[in-house]
Amino acid sequence: MSAPTVALDLTADPAALTAALVDMASVSGEERALADAVEAALRAQAPHFEVLRDGDAVLARTNLGRERRVLLAGHLDTVPIADNVPSRWEGDLLYGCGTSDMKAGDAVFAHLAATITEPRHDLTLVFYDCEEVEAVRNGLGRLERNHRDWLAADLAVPGEPTDGEVEAGCQGTLRVEVRTSGRRAHSARSWLGDNAIHHAGEVLRRLGDYTPRRVDIDGCEYREGLQAVRIAGGVAGNVVPDECVVGVNFRFAPDRSVEQAEQHVREVLDGFDVTLTDSSPGALPGLAQPAAQEFLAATGATARAKFGWTDVARFAALGIPAVNYGPGDPNLAHTRDEHVDVTVVARCTDVLRTFLT
């Protein structure tokens, strides 16, 4: 027998709704109960929306025949809990896993769905699963594969944490493994071997000496980064190792394609055995699009670059202009003391209400 669905009040203050969402733990892969609660609340409290479901992704949309459609997207999952559920308050700060990334954004979107009955744009809301894990499990990607028409829009706004600012585009990311090889020997007779870990020193030197680009695109400065993020090697305490693997992550500006980024990494690490293990393209700002310009005017903000990868890139690949906008602080995402300032939650709610009405 499944657990009873928790009742969510979407008309409540978005800060209180954020706390209710946080108190329903939803680590990646464990979103079912929260998805059930969100679906039930939308069906009961937003009857002007058509509600659809795919796995643990819930989609709601109006069909009012408006000239444009705006899509608000928020993931329901969080990183693993770090003794920070249930939520707790300290003045205007709400602490708890997912407060910043991105249940505050989810709460704002759900609240607007229940309280705006005559939007000037048709609206689509997507609450999806498994954003915080490998791309193959991403619920938004599953919707793209199974129901491409559900994601039709003239502007998409993922509610990723931006501290109430507009963050345009996103960086691309790729990961490679760099292998160095040698020859095993007894460490007491090291001259008979060839130490693969020592050879990795040149890899680390090149990465340490690397000067990353800063790239201005549409007034947004993207900062690249090429970093060793993992190293593994060694056989035993008395063996000269014959293999070492350095994991390297390249965060690249969206003016590079994945292929160009990979080629650049291979040039930096020329002479070494480099294997690509994972990649996702970035997204250009797309601020020249009319819908994006209208959103910027509504916020009264100047867009800045998004550091890191978000599902903005997925929408960009579909030809949909997209910007990141949410109340959480990106510097607090995934931390043990993750929290959100509820005054920013209120401000984001007001800005989006103005834009949509």
| Residue position matching structure tokens 């063996």 | 239
Alpha-carbon span 353 to 98, nearest angstrom: 23
Residue 246 C-beta-side C-alpha neighbours within 13 Å: 25
Residues in the chain: 357
What are the Cα distances from residue 346, in Å, to 105, 205, 353? 11, 48, 11
Q: Are 245 and 177 in contact (CB under 8 A)?
A: yes
- Give the helix ranges, DSSP H, for 190-323: 196-209, 258-268, 290-299, 312-317
Q: What value, to the nearest 5°, has the Cα angle with vertex 241 and ends 236 and 246?
A: 110
Q: Are 218 and 304 in contact (CB under 8 A)?
A: no
Alpha-carbon span 297 to 347, nearest angstrom: 15
DSSP for 265-294, please give it. Answer: HHHHTTTSEEEEEEEE--B---TTSHHHHH
Alpha-carbon span 67 to 355, nearest angstrom: 15
CB atoms within 10 A of CB 145: 9
Instruction: Report the catalytic residues.
Output: 77, 131
